[in-house]
Amino acid sequence: MIYTRKSDVTAGRVARSVGKPHATILDQHEILALGAEWEELAAHAVQENPYYTRRYVTAQLAYIERRPVQALAVWQDHKLIAFLPFVKDPWRWGGIVYVNKSWSTPYTTLSVPLIDARFAQSASTALLSAMASGLTGSSTWLLLDVTLKGSAFRHLHQAQTTLDLRSKTFDIFERATLSRSGTFDEHLKTHLSKNRRKSLNRNRRRLEEAGPLSLETYTEGEKLEEALQHFLRLEQSGWKGRSGTALASTPQTRAFAEMAFGNQPIGSPTNHTTETAKYLETRIDLLMLNDQPIAASVSVQAGRTAFTLKSAFDESYRHQSPGLLLEEAIIRSFLNGNWADRLDSAADAGHVLETLWNGTITVGDVLLTASQSNAKFLFGAFTFLETTRRMARQTMKQALRSLRR
């Protein structure tokens, strides 16, 4: 394995040795210089992660992120076979030792690295070896929001076992997912309570008394841009707008949304096919009443998995639950159509989609020491520090909630 502390980027290409796995650290400029190789890796990733795809990363770096972001990149000949963006957190444990954290923001819910399925195990081993090498200045890592039974972590865990490295998992929870199983009617009877079905039917009839009710879906072109503006308006008109957390609340977050979810060009990498260039796609579903949107859902689709990132509804219709009626319509479209194999709710535990969808995935944070030189005692100390930090944050949150009552 070869390591370098700085990549040599020329016309978007990183210098690397032919025939040998080659790990580099990329700074933000070098990350953005990647083109076709990044698109190809995303298209062949062993597990989909839309947040680490070229369009989404570019949008976040342009408008959201202010920390210096780097990435570990592993190459095999001329192919990028693993990619893990990260940030350094020197004060996480009071400056005792700094931690590398997989890159996450308020607009990401998954931080597994992109690993090429064609080189899955060798890429995973090379990535962990690079993490252990001291290339980044620290061999202690915190991987946030990892699907613990997903393909990417399974390969990393196998490599971890081979390399005899230590890890500890924190804050495990179940995230709602929807997989293709049975018909729409069978799904309703199996996974929705009788009271829920009656409530949805009653609210649908009430809305239909006011006019035609329909689902409209957009994935490209000017109609997608128009649908995105409908979503931004609905979100801004609700509680998120009042609290200042809607995407349209600031010029920066609006610009991020328009780049991440719209049709804005992000550059012109050469030598890539239409398939890989279009790997990350946006889908916006609108519930229409009298040809006006009263609920909207924004998803991004990577491969055959769609991640339902954002939703909003017109609060003047809140008593008719337009958001839930839109979710029901999306379930119908998903089960009756063939546009995805799985939906990921991108949500925390306790989300309402758990009562509507048919499955879950296990998610957690993983503390990893990637160096064998860290003895059991030292890793035990790291585990204690992280446990103490999380307990303190939880206690503080509970105290703040008590004060607000």
Same domain, 282 and 385: no
Number of domains in the chain: 2
Helix or strand (DSSP H, E) at 233: helix 221-237
The reply to whether 355 falls in a domain is no
pLDDT tens digits, 82-132: 999 999 998 888 888 889 999 999 999 999 999 999 999 999 999 999 998
DSSP string, 48-91: --GGGSHHHHHHHHHHT--SPPEEEEEEETTEEEEEEEEEEETT
Residue 24 has a pLDDT of: 94
d(CA 92, CA 258): 33
Domain that holds residue 133: 2-173+364-404
Q: Is the dihedral of CA 255, 259, 265, 269 positive or negative?
A: positive
Same domain, 271 and 311: yes
Q: List phi, psi (to 5°) of 181.
A: -155, 110
Same domain, 245 and 229: yes
pLDDT tens digits, 32-86: 999 999 999 999 999 999 999 999 999 999 999 999 999 999 999 889 999 999 9
Same domain, 86 and 215: no
Residues of the chain with pLDDT under 70: 1-19, 267-278, 370-376, 404-405
Same domain, 139 and 264: no
The reply to whether 357 falls in a domain is no
Q: Is-contact 65 128, C-beta < 8 A?
A: no
The reply to whether 354 falls in a domain is no
**Residue 326 CB burial class (10 angstroms; 0-12, 13-18, ≥19):** buried
Give the pair of three-digit tokens for residue 228.
Answer: 């995105």
Indicate which CATH number applies to the domain containing 72: 3.40.630.30
Strand partners, 177: 344, 359
Residue 268 has a pLDDT of: 40
Residue linked to tokens 């991108």 = 346
Same domain, 154 and 208: no
The reply to whether 30 falls in a domain is yes
| Among 116, 120, 144, 139, CA closest to 45 | 116
The reply to whether 188 falls in a domain is yes
The reply to whether 191 falls in a domain is yes
Q: Is-contact 145 110, C-beta < 8 A?
A: yes
Indicate which CATH number applies to the domain containing 291: 3.40.630
d(CA 302, CA 378): 39
Same domain, 201 and 309: yes
Residue 372 has a pLDDT of: 61
Same domain, 316 and 251: yes
Same domain, 399 and 318: no
Residue 143 has a pLDDT of: 96
Same domain, 163 and 198: no
Here the contacts of 160-164 (C-beta below 8 Å, separation 24 or greater) are 160/128, 160/368, 162/125, 163/125, 163/128, 163/129, 163/132, 163/370, 163/372, 164/372
d(CA 374, CA 371): 6
The reply to whether 349 falls in a domain is no
pTM of this prediction exceeds 0.85:
yes
The reply to whether 346 falls in a domain is no
Q: Is-contact 197 356, C-beta < 8 A?
A: no
Residue 18 has a pLDDT of: 54
Same domain, 95 and 240: no
Same domain, 324 and 376: no
